[in-house]
Amino acid sequence: MKKMNNNIDEYENIVELLKQALKFYADNDNYSVNRKVNDSIFTQIQMDSGTQARFALDRANVFINARKKIENDINHHITNNSENFLKDNLDKLTDLNNMLNT
């Protein structure tokens, strides 16, 4: 249960990062309120240059890719173990059949 709670917490953290980035870009003041930097005037959006959005998307992609890798590894493990289990038991049945027929 603890592992599931960690996954939920990770999803909530990513959603919160994405919400914060969206709020930043949705705020009209960030487009119109200018800030002076080195004798040039910039909006918050110009100063950010997409940094918040890229960071939030990167965190989401890291989490999504890690989840996909875990799922692929589990599926691969299950498939390999199932094939081995079937082969081992088929071999045992074949041996048993041979013993009974001799």
**Residues whose CB falls within 8 Å of the CB of residue 60, separated by 6 or more in sequence, listed in order:** 14, 17, 18
| Residue type present at position 94 | T
Cβ-based burial of 24 (10 A; exposed 0-12, middle 13-18, buried ≥19): middle
Q: Distance between CA 96 and CA 76 in Å, rounded?
A: 30
Question: Would you state the pLDDT for residue 3?
Answer: 62
The reported pTM is: 0.55
At 35-88, the pLDDT tens digits run 776 767 778 888 888 888 888 888 888 888 888 888 888 888 888 778 778 788
